[in-house]
Amino acid sequence: MRREEARDLLAEVREGETRARRTLDPFLGGLLLIWGTVYLAGYGLVTLRSPLAGPAWAALSVAGFLLSYGLGFRVAGHLRTPSGRALGALWAGFGLAFLALVLAGDRLADGAFSLAVNLLVGLALWQSGVLLARPPATAAGAALMLANALLFAYLPGIYAPALAGAGLLAAGAGLWMVRRGLR
Amino acid sequence: MAFDELIHQPTRLRLMAYLAGLGPDARVEFGALKRALDLTEGNLSRHLAKLEEAGYLAIEKGYVKRRPRTWVRLTGRGRDAFAAHVAFLEELLKGGDR
């Protein structure tokens, strides 16, 4: 066998490995699309001072969770991998933490609910990026955690519109990942 | 480090690389595998049968929502053979023709 042939065959190996690494990208993209849309609509209504903002947040959160878990079950119907299982457990933990915050409800100080939820989302995104070896997702999680804290502490006036904008970016990135995965 | 005639075929090499890349104990459904590797049903079936015969893959039948599904999993033997073949190719690339 010649070196050229070995090089071509190793290219096939890298191609197979790349496809394997991207297998869960449509799932991660779907999560970004769902939660980006929830943020865009929810914080968008808060920015517009809509009286519907409160009930809309509750409805959007429930819809977001149902769609996320539906997506997870759909993926598990044709693919079961160690990283997929870890991702499912991670987001189930996020759901539990979110429920704990909802139960704490009125006892939280003003704005603390949003601050805590966004820190959890940022952390879940960071860990998803680590699990799937996707540095952009890890970076996005870190950026969300930092921006969330800084805006909350120093620029509360633009907290809601900034997170609506972040939602738009996340939804766009998610749509791109889903479309790339479907090709 | 060992040359493996069976894995050497390019499509089977890519198939093994994909399954190895999913991680240990990963299982993938036949249709998803076909889409992931852009293969036809007949082509994929033929390659899977050869690799299963060698003990490199395990093919399991099951049901999801009452629909029959075929799951494909890389065995420990398959993982070892794949790793050895890739090591052979890498060594060849470093060393020279054989």
Q: What is the pLDDT of residue A182?
A: 63
Q: Tell me the shortest Cα–Cα distance from A59 to chain B, in angstroms.
A: 28
Percentage of chain B modeled with pLDDT above 90: 64
A122 domain residue, yes or no: yes
pLDDT in the model for residue A42: 93
List CB contacts (< 8 A) between B71 and chain A.
80
| pLDDT given for residue B96 in this prediction | 61
Write phi, then psi, for A123 (nearest 5 degrees).
-65, -40
Residue A1 lies in a domain: no
Please calculate the CA angle B35-B30-B73 and round it to the nearest 5 degrees: 115
A2 touches B: beta carbon within 8 Å: yes
Q: Classify strands A79-80 and B67-74 as parallel, antiparallel or unpaired.
A: unpaired
User: How close, in Å, is residue A178 to chain B by CA atoms?
Assistant: 14
Question: Can you tell me the ipTM of this complex?
Answer: 0.81
Q: Does B5 touch chain A (CB under 8 A)?
A: no
Q: Does the distance separating the beta carbons of A1 and B10 come in below 8 Å?
A: no
Burial B74-88 (b: 16+ CB within 10 A, else e): bbeebeebbeebbeb
* Closest to A15 in 3D by CA, of B5, B71, B39, B27: B39
Which of B1, B92, B94 has the most A C-beta neighbours within 10 Å, making it the best mutation to test the interface with A? B92
Query: Is residue A5 situated within a structural domain?
Result: no
In Å, how far from its chain's centre is CA B62?
A: 20
CA distance A128 to A143: 14
d(CA A48, CA A50): 5
Parent domain of A78: 25-182
Give just the sign of the alpha carbon dihedral A46, A115, A168, A42.
negative
- Report how far apart the first and last C-alpha atoms of chain B are (Å, whole number): 14
Residue of A50, A105, A109 lying closest to A42 (CA atoms):
A50
Q: For A86-125, what is each residue's pLDDT tens digit?
A: 888 888 898 899 888 888 877 888 788 889 989 998 999 8
Confirm whether A71 is domain-assigned. yes
Band of pLDDT at residue A85, cut at 50, 70 and 90 = confident
Domains of chain B: 5-93 (1.10.10.10)
pLDDT in tens, B5-46: 999 899 999 999 999 998 888 999 999 999 889 999 999 999
Model confidence pLDDT, tens digit, residues A13-47: 998 888 888 888 888 889 889 999 999 999 999 99
Give pLDDT, residue B63. Answer: 78
**Do the chains contact at B36 and A12, CB–CB below 8 Å?**
no
What is the model's pLDDT at position A75? 83
Give domain status of residue A44, yes or no: yes
Tell me the per-residue pLDDT of A153-179, one tens digit each, with 9 for 90 and over: 999 999 999 999 999 999 999 999 888
Could you tell me if residue A12 is inside a domain?
A: no
CB < 8 Å to B28, chain A: 78-81
The answer to whether residue B97 scores a pLDDT higher than 60 is no
Partners of A17 on chain B (C-beta within 8 Å) are 17-18, 20-21
Joined tokens for residue B59:
């093919």
Task: Judge whether B51 is closer than 8 Å to chain A, CB to CB.
Answer: no
**Number of folded domains that form chain A:** 1
| Residues in chain A within 8 Å Cβ distance of B15 | 16
- What pLDDT is attached to residue A148? 93
A13 CB neighbours in chain B (<8 A) are 13-14, 17, 86, 89
- The minimal CB distance from A7 to the residues B21, B31, B93 is found for B93
